[in-house]
Structure 1
Amino acid sequence: MNAFEHYPPVLDVTHIQEILGIGRRQAYELVNSGDFHIVRIGRRIKILKTVFIQWLEGEMEE
């Protein structure tokens, strides 16, 4: 079973916290770092699960 299977296709900051085991502040710093593409919808931040997994596995294109 894939470790990310139970997460939705579009993640939010709470999901990032859970996956990485980090705090809220660290999660927001990470998503605002520019290391991967995010989408802002009002005050909400969304990340495609596939994009996050690629970043986590070190497969992001430079």
Structure 2
Amino acid sequence: MKESNYKSYDELPLFLNAATVAKVLGIAPSSSYELMHEKDFPALRIGNRIVVPKEAFIRWVEQHTGGAE
């Protein structure tokens, strides 16, 4: 398993691309692309790019890890 380079949500940029999502979650970039195409994942398409708003990403992580309970 890959290790995240980020130690805090504060270190994240305002919008995350697939490479950043992969680094944060400690997964392969190909897995982050697959995740970003899932129906419930909070990704935005801007032209050809797919980005994830930082706050929506944090909420998604909390919902899927039990952190929001």
Which range, TM-score by smaller chain?
Answer: 0.7 to 0.9
Deviating more after overlay: 14-23 vs 29-38:
29-38
Normalised TM-score (structure 1) = 0.81
CA distance in 2, matches of 1:36, 1:29: 10
Moved over 4 A (4+): none
The match for 1:10 is 15
Structure number with higher relative contact order (C-alpha < 8 Å, ≥ 6 residues apart): 1
In structure 1, what residue type is equivalent to 2:50? I
Question: Contact 2:15–2:52 at 8 Å: present in 1 too?
Answer: yes
TM-score (norm 2): 0.74
Unaligned runs of 5+ in 2: 1-6, 65-69
> C-alpha offsets along residues 5-36 of structure 1, whole Å, 9 cap, x if unaligned?
11111111111001001001100110101122
Percent sequence identity over aligned pairs: 34
